[in-house]
């Protein structure tokens, strides 16, 4: 009998498990709001230099009063190669002759330009206020926008490493309670920052909290539910994130001011913090960590909620130890990140999971954080990108449940890569077709994320599961930080970014084929269990040697 059998005796997927999944899934909706928030709070409005009128003749002031905005822009701002007003330059002197629509440049015409020394004028029809328009993060300062997102992702990366290890040592509940509070405080304070530096610091802290919430929500779910329901619960968590993308599009459309939008998506985490104190610590983690009395108390509480009080009362520390004897005897007193590469089986899993998470996040954020460049309404694009997750994740859960984790993970990655590579051959003027390929690729990556959370959690044993998930999260954030830099390679060879974005998931999908299948396989508790599963032939051979130590093939006799 194992821990999974204990859960089945105490109600299986009973009322306690259903309530826990629901209250852990609700905060995941708001994680999407923070993850993709800079598409709106850092939206780049149309802009040009402040118009500077030079008086070339005495009645110029009276003439300019009768000019419309378009005419003023025409005489004060040069145009680029696409016929659009330049964003970062203006004429040194007013080009009055351009008021004539048929005018052409003549010899001696002064066309000198200068930077926007007086600031910029922003189109506020889409965004009334963003960090771009408030702090003038355009032209020479335009890279600060990407830096802010990279700093946020750096926070997520640090959180994956730090909080993943801490939760393996101090428990899932303590860390998730703290992360709810950290997200609420840092997110709300971001809405009141006076400058860009403070904004980046608080976004870094929000990124750390986001990572902790994501990792511990998955672990608490997976460690409290029976094996056969893990794929369904994992998909519920995935759809919660999808719902959050719809929420973000609606809230961002209703609140075009970045400060109020930032505050609105942050305040719910204070509510999550308050009710998170009612969570019950993972009994599986408590038992493996040697806290058997607390594990039994938690299991009895779950049994009462499930209507299995009698079965819960029969449970004791001795019963728990006897049922988990093999896991408890082989469990080490402490574990660290070194255990992820110490043994061959775990090392193979760690490498495979790292590739999966890196490639999925790398390609995902290459698409999802650049909505303005698709040429469509940004709010509609956000809705479309969120909507595609619904069928993608439904299909993925079907294949995860009935075919297998490994197949689903590999297929989703390879499909995503092929869709991205297909856009290399689509002409730029066919924007709708490019959008279709991008949406299909994004849906495949969403399915890959959905599978990765389940697959990774099942590959690693309980004693280092959070560390393993932290490793996956770390590689995902590395991918999300590198993704914006890859776009710069397009200046040397335009198709190169798409080649890199598409090639990474295809390579990762092929590597996934070498990972073990975990469908209908009980969660491993210890590193030793993983090693035995990874070498079944050696295990059988070793047992035969023990049973038949003296059996040797006899040499052939010469009967001649």
DSSP string, 12-47: SS-HHHHHHHHHHHHHHHHHHHHHTTHHHHT----E
Q: Provide the β-strand partners of residue 113.
A: 91
Q: What is the pLDDT of residues 239-277, one digit of tens each?
A: 888 888 888 888 999 998 999 999 999 999 999 999 888
What is the dihedral angle through the alpha carbons of 216, 185, 255, 86, rounded to the nearest 10 degrees?
-100
- Domain span at residue 340 reads 333-537
- Cα–Cα distances in angstroms (integers) from residue 161 to residues 368, 383, 533, in the given order: 24, 32, 27
Q: How far is CA 145 from the centre of its chain?
A: 19
**Which of 290, 325, 360 is the C-terminal boundary of a domain?**
325
- SS3 of 122, please? strand
In this prediction, residue 470 has a pLDDT band, given cuts at 50, 70 and 90, of confident
Strands 113-115 and 120-122: unpaired
The answer to whether residue 404 scores a pLDDT higher than 50 is yes
Same domain, 387 and 524: yes
Same domain, 346 and 461: yes
- Cα–Cα distances in angstroms (integers) from residue 494 to residues 423, 428, 488, in the given order: 12, 11, 9
**Whole-number Å distance between alpha carbons of 363 and 360:** 6
Whether residue 348 is contained in a domain is answered as: yes
**Whole-number Å distance between alpha carbons of 389 and 28:** 15
Whether residue 321 is contained in a domain is answered as: yes
Same domain, 351 and 299: no
Same domain, 449 and 481: yes
271's tokens:
């509510």
Average the pLDDT over 273-289 and give the result. Answer: 84
The candidate with the shortest Cα–Cα distance to 501, out of 417, 413, 414, 385, is 417
What pLDDT, on a 0 to 100 scale, did the predictor assign at position 554?
A: 47
Q: What is the pLDDT of residues 76-90, one digit of tens each?
A: 778 776 677 888 888
Tell me which of 56-70, 344-358, 473-487 is least confident: 56-70
**Whole-number Å distance between alpha carbons of 413 and 320:** 41
Same domain, 118 and 155: no
What's the number of CA atoms in the CB half-sphere (13 Å) around residue 58? Answer: 0
Average the pLDDT over 346-370 and give the result. Answer: 89
Q: For all residues of the chain together, what is the average pLDDT?
A: 80
Same domain, 106 and 144: no
Whether residue 257 is contained in a domain is answered as: yes
**Whole-number Å distance between alpha carbons of 493 and 512:** 30
Average the pLDDT over 38-42 and give the result. Answer: 87
Phi, psi of 125 (to 5 degrees): -75, -30
**Whole-number Å distance between alpha carbons of 31 and 182:** 13
User: pTM for this one?
Assistant: 0.76
327 or 75: which leads in pLDDT: 75
Same domain, 350 and 235: no
Looking at the structure of the chain, the number of domains it has is 3
What pLDDT, on a 0 to 100 scale, did the predictor assign at position 535?
A: 72
What pLDDT, on a 0 to 100 scale, did the predictor assign at position 273?
A: 93
Q: Provide the β-strand partners of residue 114.
A: 90
Q: Provide the β-strand partners of residue 85.
A: 79
- What is the rounded end-to-end Cα distance, in angstroms, of the chain? 59
Same domain, 294 and 337: no
Q: Do residues 7 and 229 make contact, with C-beta atoms less than 8 angstroms apart?
A: no
The answer to whether residue 334 scores a pLDDT higher than 70 is no
Rounded to 10°, the helix 431-459/196-224 angle is 50
Average the pLDDT over 342-354 and give the result. Answer: 89
What's the number of CA atoms in the CB half-sphere (13 Å) around residue 288? Answer: 28
Q: What is the pLDDT of residues 445-464, one digit of tens each?
A: 989 988 888 888 888 887 78
DSSP state of 492: T
Whether residue 128 is contained in a domain is answered as: no
- CATH number of the domain where residue 419 is located: 1.20.1250.20
Same domain, 222 and 273: yes
**Which of 101, 122, 143 is the C-terminal boundary of a domain?**
122
**Which of 95, 122, 149 is the C-terminal boundary of a domain?**
122
Same domain, 29 and 52: no
- SS3 of 294, please? helix
**Whole-number Å distance between alpha carbons of 14 and 46:** 54
What's the number of CA atoms in the CB half-sphere (13 Å) around residue 361? Answer: 24
Same domain, 56 and 115: yes
**Whole-number Å distance between alpha carbons of 152 and 36:** 11
**Whole-number Å distance between alpha carbons of 272 and 546:** 55
């Amino acid at each position: 009998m194992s821990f999974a059998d204990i859960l089945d005796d105490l109600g299986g997927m009973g009322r306690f498990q259903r309530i826990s999944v629901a209250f852990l899934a609700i905060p995941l909706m708001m994680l999407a709001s923070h993850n993709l928030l800079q598409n709106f709070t850092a939206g780049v409005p149309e802009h040009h230099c402040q118009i500077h009128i030079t008086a070339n003749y005495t009645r110029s002031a009276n003439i300019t009063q009768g000019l419309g905005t378009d005419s003023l822009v025409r005489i004060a701002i040069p145009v680029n190669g696409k016929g659009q007003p330049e964003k970062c330059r203006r004429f040194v002197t007013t080009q009055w002759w351009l008021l004539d629509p048929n005018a052409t440049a003549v010899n001696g015409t002064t066309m000198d330009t200068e930077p926007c020394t007086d600031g910029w004028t922003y189109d506020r029809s889409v965004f009334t206020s963003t960090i771009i328009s408030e702090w003038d993060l355009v032209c020479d300062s335009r890279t600060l926008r990407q830096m802010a997102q990279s700093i946020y992702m750096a926070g997520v990366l640090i959180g994956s490493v730090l909080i993943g290890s801490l939760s393996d040592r101090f428990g899932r509940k303590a860390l998730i309670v703290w992360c709810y509070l950290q997200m609420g405080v840092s997110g709300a304070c971001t809405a009141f920052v006076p400058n860009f530096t403070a904004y980046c610091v608080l976004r870094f802290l929000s990124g750390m909290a986001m990572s902790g919430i994501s990792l511990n929500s998955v672990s608490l779910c997976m460690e409290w539910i029976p094996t056969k329901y893990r794929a369904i619960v994992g998909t519920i968590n995935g759809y919660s994130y999808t719902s959050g993308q719809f929420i973000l599009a609606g809230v961002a459309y209703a609140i075009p001011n970045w400060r109020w939008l930032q505050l609105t998506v942050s305040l719910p985490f204070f509510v999550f913090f308050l009710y998170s104190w009612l969570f019950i610590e993972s009994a599986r983690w408590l038992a493996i960590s040697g806290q058997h009395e607390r594990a039994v108390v938690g299991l009895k509480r779950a049994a009462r909620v499930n209507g299995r009080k009698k079965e819960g009362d029969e449970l004791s520390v001795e019963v728990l130890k006897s049922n988990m004897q093999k896991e408890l005897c082989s469990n080490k007193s402490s574990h660290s990140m070194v255990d992820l590469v110490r043994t061959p089986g775990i090392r193979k899993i760690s490498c495979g999971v790292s590739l999966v998470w890196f490639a999925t996040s790398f390609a995902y954020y290459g698409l999802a954080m650049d909505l303005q460049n698709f040429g469509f309404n940004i709010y509609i694009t956000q809705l479309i990108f969120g909507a595609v997750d619904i069928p993608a994740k439904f299909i993925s859960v079907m294949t995860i449940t009935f075919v297998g984790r490994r197949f689903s993970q590999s297929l989703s990655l390879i499909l995503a890569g092929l869709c991205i590579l297909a856009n290399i051959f689509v002409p730029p003027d066919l924007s709708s077709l490019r959008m279709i390929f991008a949406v299909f690729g994004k849906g495949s990556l969403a399915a890959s994320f959905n599978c990765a959370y389940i697959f990774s959690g099942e590959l690693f044993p309980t004693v280092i599961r959070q560390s393993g998930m932290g490793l996956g999260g770390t590689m995902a954030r590395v991918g999300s930080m590198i993704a914006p830099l890859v776009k710069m390679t397009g200046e040397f060879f335009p198709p190169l970014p798409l080649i890199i974005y598409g090639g990474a998931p295809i390579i990762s999908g092929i590597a996934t084929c070498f990972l073990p299948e975990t469908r209908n396989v009980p969660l491993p508790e210890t590193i030793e269990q993983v090693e035995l599963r990874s070498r079944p032939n050696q295990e059988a051979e070793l047992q035969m040697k023990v049973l038949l130590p003296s059996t040797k093939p006899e040499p052939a006799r010469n009967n001649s």
